[in-house]
Amino acid sequence: MSRTALGMPGLRPGSGNLFAEEKFPSAARRELGNAQLRRNLKHATSTIRTKRLNVTGELPDWEELREAGSALKTSVMARLPELLEAFEANVTARGGTVHWARDADEANRIIHGLVKAEGVDEVVKVKSMATQEIGMNEYLEEHGIAAYETDLAELIVQLDHDKPSHILVPAIHKNRTEVRDIFLKEMPGVDPGLTDEPRRLAMAARAHLRAKFLTAKVAISGANFGIADSGALSVVESEGNGRMCLTLPGTLITVMGIEKLLPSFSDLEVFLQLLPRSSTGERMNPYTSLWTGVTEGDGPQKFHVILLDNGRTNALADEMGRSALHCIRCSACINVCPVYERAGGHAYGSTYPGPIGAILSPLMTGVEAEENGSLPYASSLCGACYDACPVKINIPDILVHLRGKDVDAHRGGLPSQLDVGLKAASWALSDGRRLGAVEKLLPLGRAAAGKDKKIKKLPGIAAGWTQSRDIPAPPSQSFRDWWAKEHKES
């Protein structure tokens, strides 16, 4: 459905780190050449797949939970304006301040203003997708403020001046020797005798971070859930570093996408079962933090929430695509995706890789933005993502829907080989007689095959096929002809 059809004024496309700057096929081709990356990904994704299947398989009501999660999110999207206003009123009533940001730039400016008001040039960060999406670290850095990632994997990526390649395991593309080398090179005061033993690496990171936790005056977090009827927020994590950030500094700034709302606290029952099992393959995650507004003498005394749109209403306006906003960022779809497993996260350009990224990025920015139109094609439509998704987002259907939008956006331009081929095919395949006439040419294809009855090289776009596959010589007659002869039809 088009934006104008809904009559929604003022929809802005998302901005920040939501773009593929290079077409997916060529980015993927380059990443495919990285053997280390492929080994890491294969190992990590297959381990987590097995863990996830074990803990989802053991629940007799897993399918009902998925249904419930999907239904809850559908109703949240239908009631979003009302729930957002309730959330704002409740946060405010409990001593917090709510800010509204239409896009990445607005969010960054608000955050910068809040940090500046505290007179500091350092902040600590809880692992958060929303702040990655808006490119907050880079923005603050440009304005003389250092944002320290406290999640171990995010820290590794940050120290290496790299980009995360997975939403849950941001450093999935690095192995531990690489991590040690990064620490030795980039971590101030690190023990020069550091080995690549995981425990030693974690201890080095802990020593580095502890100092930051104790001195930081401002923390910045994302949120997994916001509860409309109380204004409560929740962060779900594994390491406990998030909880340190949420409790120690005097000021807490939380950036939350507007789709993260749930109507009430009891709805967490469903999502706190769905999320850890789908995400890390654990029955329960180690740390679930919940807080509401400001409590005197306990935790941060100043609390701000930034409600981030950044293209989410764009996605919401798309009837077929809006369920992408149900995503709880568990990464199950990414971990089962055969395309992600080979191409890796960086090939998608955006903060959101894998199947969810291939729909979410173009939905938030529009398919015509940069190379985001190439993302919906980054799938063989095998459907593994849909099966794995705890909130039952029909990713394959949305991929196909967005391909349709991309094709329509290019109509009227210079036709590609595929355009020409598929238009001709539509003509031939929409009439049995026409197809029958085309099939009379099968012997020609037979003649084109070599002595070994294989076709090994095709020109143009079909060369992509013959780079690794033969085509058998066509049969001498089609089934249609055989049938007609058998049944004495003309």
Partner 1 sequence: MKIALFATCIVDGMYPRAAQATVAVLERLGHEVVFPKGQACCGQMHVNSGYFKEAVPVVANHVRAFESEDYDVAVAPSGSCVASVKHQHPMVARRAGDAGLEERATAVGKKTYELSELLVDVLGVTNPAEQLGSYFPHTVTYHPSCHGMRLLKLGDRQAGLLRGVKGLELLDLPEADQCCGFGGTFSVKNAYVSSAMLADKAANIRSTGASVCAGGDYSCLMHIGGGLSRQGSGVATLHLAEILASTEAAPVAVPGPAGQPVKVVVK
Residues that bind partner 1 (CB under 8 A): 24-25, 28-29, 32, 338-339, 342-343, 376-384, 386-387, 397, 400, 402-408, 418, 422-423, 425-426, 428-435, 438-439, 442, 452-454, 456, 461-462, 464-465, 467-475, 477-480, 482-483, 487, 489
The binder of 200, among ligand SF4, partner 1, none, by C-beta within 5 to 8 A per type, is none
Q: Tell me how far, at minimum, the Cβ of 387 lies from partner 1, in Å.
A: 6
Q: Which of 389, 398, 402, 473 binds ligand SF4 (CB under 6 A)?
A: 389
Instruction: Name the binder of 390 from partner 1, ligand SF4, none, CB < 5-8 A by kind.
Output: ligand SF4
For the chain, the maximum distance between any two Cα atoms, rounded to a whole number of angstroms, is: 93
Our CA angle for 30, 386, 225, nearest 5°, is 95
Of the pair 66, 405, the CB lying nearest partner 1 is at: 405
Does 68 help bind ligand SF4 (rule: CB under 6 A)?
no
| In the complex, least distance from residue 295 CB atom to ligand SF4, rounded to whole angstroms | 31
C-beta closer to ligand SF4: residue 280 or 331: 331
Nearest distance, CB of residue 79 and partner 1, angstroms = 25
State the binding string over 313-342 for ligand SF4 (x if CB under 6 A, else -). --------------xxxxxxx---------
**Counting contacts by CB under 6 A, is residue 393 touching ligand SF4?**
yes
- Tokens 């238009």 locate to 423
Identity of the residue, 332 or 402, whose beta carbon is nearer to ligand SF4 in the bound complex? 332
The item of partner 1, ligand SF4, none sharing an interface with residue 448, based on CB under 5 to 8 Å by kind, is: none
Whole-number minimum distance, CB 352 to ligand SF4, in Å?
9
Phi, psi at 291, each rounded to 5°: -150, 155
Considering CB under 6 A, how many residues would be counted as binding ligand SF4? 14
Residue 129 in contact with ligand SF4, rule: CB under 6 A: no
Q: Does 399 bind ligand SF4 (CB under 6 A)?
A: no
**153 vs 339, beta carbon nearer partner 1:** 339
Q: Tell me the closest approach of the beta carbon of residue 320 to partner 1, in angstroms.
A: 9
**Alpha-carbon distances, residue 127 vs 82, 122, 210, 214, 439 (angstroms):** 28, 16, 16, 18, 58
**Residue of 348, 331, 420 whose CA lies nearest to 26:** 348
Residues in the chain: 490
State the nearest-atom distance from the C-beta of 356 to ligand SF4, in Å. 4
* Minimum gap (Å) between residue 407 Cβ and ligand SF4: 24
Q: Which is nearer to ligand SF4, 90 or 224 (CB)?
A: 224
Closest approach of ligand SF4 to the CB of residue 393, in Å: 5
Q: In terms of CB distance, is 17 or 379 closer to partner 1?
A: 379
Binding partner at 426 among ligand SF4, partner 1, none, C-beta below 5 to 8 Å by kind: partner 1
CB of 381 to partner 1, least distance (A): 6
| Closer of 64 and 269 to partner 1 (Cβ) | 64
Q: Which is nearer to partner 1, 231 or 396 (CB)?
A: 396
- Write the interaction track for ligand SF4 spanning residues 264-293; mark x where CB under 6 A is met and - where it is not: --------------x---------------
Cβ proximity to ligand SF4, 344 vs 390, nearer residue? 390
Per-residue binder mask for ligand SF4 (CB under 6 A), 165-204, x = binder: ----------------------------------------
Ramachandran region, residue 240 (left: φ > 0; alpha: ψ -120 to 50; beta: rest)? left
Angle at 212 between CA 208 and CA 213, to 5 degrees: 115
Which residues from 347-366 bind ligand SF4, rule CB under 6 A?
356
Min CB(386)–ligand SF4 separation in Å: 9
Q: Which of 292, 368, 283 is nearest to 56 (CA)?
A: 283
**Can you state the angle between helices 198-215 and 152-159, rounded to 10 degrees?**
90
Q: Which is nearer to ligand SF4, 259 or 406 (CB)?
A: 259
For helices 432-439 and 417-429, the axis angle rounded to 10 degrees is 110
Q: CB 329 → ligand SF4: shortest distance, Å?
A: 5
Residues that bind ligand SF4 (CB under 6 A): 278, 327-333, 356, 388-391, 393
